[in-house]
Amino acid sequence: MKRNFMDRVIDTIEWLAAIFVGLVALDIFVSVLLRKFFNTSIPDSYDFGRMLLGILIFWGIAATSYRGAHITVDLVWSNAGPRAKRWIDVFATLVLLFVVTIQTITLFDKVQQTYIDNVLTYDLNIPTWPFFAVGWLGDVSAVLLIGIRTYRLVFQPELLQDKAEPKYNE
């Protein structure tokens, strides 16, 4: 099956989010290993760790927003009919799109101010604004994916995975 451009963009963003998970895990693993066995640490390990975690959060928002894999409360949704479920999904996605768009705008101000203030890491004096910019790109990706999700909810609902009902083992 040939994947269209939007699906490739979605897959790329999800892979980037996964790579950032791996980078955070690697940073923590190596830092603990060095501290425990060699009584040393990576210069700026704390700064890298917190900035990578911030990047991970914003790219994670992008990955979970499209799939609808974030935490939800479905009391009303689960008791609604198919048409009402679809419109609840459209409304909820539009609210999410609005909130994440505002967040993206305000986060850009933080990136810009970090650049202007020339904020550096403690040990190596590396500028921190590129890390903030990568996090901001994750937020931009979230807006893009939520926009795609909204479009597909309205015009191509068959392209979205259905919300699976939880299955319980008895």
- Note the pLDDT tens digit of each residue in 72-110: 667 787 888 888 888 888 898 899 999 999 999 999 999
Does 164 reside within a domain? no
CB 87 within 8 A of CB 93: no
pLDDT at 3: 73
Does 165 reside within a domain? no
Would you call 169 exposed, middle or buried from its count of C-beta atoms within 10 A (0-12, 13-18, 19+)? exposed
Does 78 reside within a domain? yes
CB 138 within 8 A of CB 62: yes
Name which residue leads in pLDDT, 25 or 6.
25
pLDDT at 71: 58
pLDDT at 137: 94
Amino acid letter, 144: L
Does 124 reside within a domain? yes
d(CA 13, CA 141): 7
Does 35 reside within a domain? yes
Write out pLDDT tens, residues 119-157.
999 999 999 999 999 999 999 999 998 998 899 888 887
HEC string for the chain: CCCCHHHHHHHHHHHHHHHHHHHHHHHHHHHHHHHHHHCCCCCCHHHHHHHHHHHHHHHHHHHHHHHCCCCCCCHHHHCCCHHHHHHHHHHHHHHHHHHHHHHHHHHHHHHHHHHHHCCECCCCCCECHHHHHHHHHHHHHHHHHHHHHHHHHHHCHHHCCCCCCCCCCC
Does 169 reside within a domain? no
Domain that holds residue 45: 5-159
> How many domains does the structure of the chain reveal?
1
Does 97 reside within a domain? yes
